[in-house]
Amino acid sequence: MRLSEGQVWVLIIALVTMATLMKAAGPAIVGGRELPRWATGVIAMMAPALLAALVATAVFSDEQRYTVGADTVGVAAGALLLVCRVPLVLSAAVAVGLTALLRAFF
Amino acid sequence: MFRRGIRLGLPYGAVSGVLSLSFGVLAVQAGFTTLQAIVTSALVFGGSAQFAALTIVSAGGAIPAALTAATLMHSRFLAMGIAFAPSLPGGPLRRAVEGQAVVDASWALANKGDGTFDRMLLFGTTIPQYVAWLAGTIVGALAGDLLGDVERYGLDALFPTFFVGILLAELGRPRARVAAALGAVLALALVPFTAPGVPVLVAAAAALIGLGVAPDAPDAGAPEQEPA
C-alpha cells in the first residue's frame, strides 16, 4: 500500500505540528521546573528502545516477512566498524558500498 | 560564541548532508513528491523522526502509525527543551521559537555541564546542520527522480547504520542495553502478526523499564551523534 499525494501532505502537516510543539513545549510552558522522575527515566530509555527496534525491523524485515539481504550484510559490517570505533561517516560509507557491491554481483 | 558554534557544527553538518541526501532519495521512492520531501526536511528538521515515519510508510504502514513512531522518536526533545528552558531569556513565545533550534549535537555541545546552556553557541552549531540537512534533501529528492532504483546504490543501508551509531552512544548505561535488546526483540517478534509500523510502536513499551529511574545526569542519554 502506498500513500497518495494528498495523504502524504496530511502526514507532513501532522509531523510539522508535532515537531514544532515538541520543541516549543519545554521552553514555553515548563520553564525551569523539572519533570517527575518517572517521566525522565522513561524518556531517557525511549531512544535506545526505538532505535534498536527501527534498526532491527529495517534490516531484518519487509512488510510482514523476515528477510536477510545485501543491506543486512552492509549494515552489520558498518555496525561492526562502529563498535571498533571507526568514525561514523566512514562506517556508513562501508555499509553503503558493501550493500551496493553485493547487489551488483548477486 | 555564535561563530565558534558554526565552526563546531560543520562536521555534524557534513554528516547531516549525507543522511538527508538518503532521506530525499528514499522519500521520493516511497511516494513523496520532490516538493514534499523538501518541505518535510525544511519544517520537521529531525532525522530520527523523519526516518521513523518514512520507514513505516515505505513498509506499507498507515499515517497514524507513522506519526506515532515519529512522535515517540521526537519525544526526547521534550526533555531536552525542558533542560534548555532556563537558559532562554524573554517571554514564552520567544522561548518557544528559540527552542526550535535544538538538535541533538547542538544541545550536547552547548551544554555547559552545570545545568545551563550557551544559547548563542547552540544557535551557531545548528546553522550548518540545518543548511546541510536542507541542501542534502534537495539534492537527494531531485536525484531520486533520476536515479531510479536506489537500492542498487545501497543507500537503504545508510540510515540504519547511522542509527546504530547513535544507539552505540546510548548503550553506555546497562539499563539502556536492556531497553535496546527488549525493543529489538519485541519489534521483530511482532513482524509477522501485525500491520507494518506497529512492531516499532509496541517496542517503545520497552522504555518503561526506565520507570522510576532518574537519568545519571540531566539527560545523560541524549545522543550526541545524531546529525539533525
**Beta-bridge partner residues of A41:** none
B147 in contact with A at a CB cutoff of 8 Å? no
| ipTM rounded to 2 decimals | 0.83
The CA–CA distances, whole Å, from A82 to A77, B15, B161, B165, B168 equal: 9, 15, 9, 6, 8
How confident is the model over B7-42, as pLDDT tens digits? 888 878 887 888 899 899 999 989 999 999 999 999
How confident is the model over A18-57, as pLDDT tens digits? 999 999 998 998 765 666 777 777 777 877 888 899 899 9
From A104, which residue of chain B is nearest by alpha-carbon distance?
B152
Instruction: Show residues of chain A in contact with B55, CB under 8 Å.
Output: 54, 57-58
pLDDT band at B212 (very low <50, low <70, confident <90, very high): low
As a whole number of Å, the CA-based R_g of chain B is 18
User: How is residue B207 annotated by DSSP?
Assistant: G
Closest residue to A26, CB basis, from B30, B49, B78: B78
Mean pLDDT on B73-89:
83
The percentage of residues in chain B with a pLDDT greater than 70, rounded to a whole number, is: 90
pLDDT value of residue B222: 43
B176 in contact with A at a CB cutoff of 8 Å? yes
Judged against a pLDDT cut of 80, whether residue B217 lies above it is answered with no
Judged against a pLDDT cut of 80, whether residue B165 lies above it is answered with yes
Judged against a pLDDT cut of 50, whether residue B132 lies above it is answered with yes
Judged against a pLDDT cut of 70, whether residue B90 lies above it is answered with yes
Size of interface A-B (CB pairs under 8 A): 337
B55 with A54: Cβ contact below 8 A: yes
Distance CA B6, CA B215 (A): 29
Reference B29, options B138, B157, B143, B195; nearest CA is B143
B45 with A47: Cβ contact below 8 A: no
For chain A, positions 10-29, list CB contacts with chain B under 8 A: 10-12, 14-16, 18-20, 22-29
The CA-based angle A26-A54-B184, given to 5 degrees, is: 105
B225 in contact with A at a CB cutoff of 8 Å? yes
